Amino acid sequence: MSQQKTTRLNQYQIEDKQLSRGFSLNQKLFVVALLFVAFVGVAYSLFSVGSIKLLSPKNSSGLAAKDLTFSWKCSKPDTKLVLEVFDGEKLVMRQLVKGDSYTPDDDQKRDLKADKSYKWRVVADPDVTQKYSFKVESAIFYITKAMPPAVLVAPKPVETPSKPSKPLAEEEIPKTDSVKPPFYD
């Protein structure tokens, strides 16, 4: 038995001497593990399906049009996104958005009528080639109070000068014939 132990010990010593010329076995295993983790991370980011989680307005929530702000969380940062709002099957708002929220302007809010439900979603911009696809979810919100109509304000009228009450005196009239351009001489 001791002969077998000695033979095994000699075998490990020979293998260790061969490994000591470059890297140790532990160093090689560490490099292989590091490369594997890097490969899996790159593969995940390239081939995983992205997702967009809608945060507000929450599904089936009601709110006044003036208070409307959309927010979401995207699993793939720096992705060009499009916010879409539907009245049934009719698209009523489509907006290219950046970041993780969007507040419609007053004109967009005026397109949303009171006592109506709307479906909204955020999708990866279909006009831009994406390296990955997205899971899409939608939510429904209810407008309780519409935006008031736009108020058009007419500009103030410009005052027109009145006619002079008396004819201008000769000294009040500027003399233009005394100044001649140099090319007339």
Q: Residue 170: pLDDT band by 50, 70, 90 thresholds?
A: low
Considering the entire predicted model, what is its pTM? 0.56
- Residue 132 pLDDT greater than 50, yes or no: no
- Peptide bond between residue 57 and the one before it cis (omega within 30 degrees of 0): yes
Selected residue with higher pLDDT from 79 and 121 = 121
Structure-derived torsion over alpha carbons of residues 128, 132, 135, 140, reported in degrees to the nearest 10: -20
**Confidence at 151, pLDDT banded by 50, 70, 90:** confident
Please report, for residues 52, 66, 119, 143, the alpha-carbon distance to residue 82 in angstroms, rounded to integers and kept in the order given.
11, 21, 14, 21
pLDDT in the model for residue 162: 67
Instruction: Answer whether CATH 3.40.50.720 is correct for domain 50-145.
Output: no
Higher local confidence (pLDDT), 47 or 114: 114
Question: What is the structure's pLDDT at 10?
Answer: 57
Percent of the chain with pLDDT over 90: 33
Coil, strand or helix at 69: coil
Report whether pLDDT(159) > 90: no
Query: 90-123: per-residue pLDDT in tens?
Result: 999 999 998 899 999 999 999 999 999 999 999 8
CA 16 → CA 2, 23, 33, 68, distances in Å? 21, 10, 20, 69
State yes or no: pLDDT of 69 exceeds 90. yes
- Specify the pLDDT at position 44: 59
What does the pLDDT read at residue 17?
A: 54
pLDDT at 73: 92
Sequence spans of domains, the chain: 2-46, 50-145
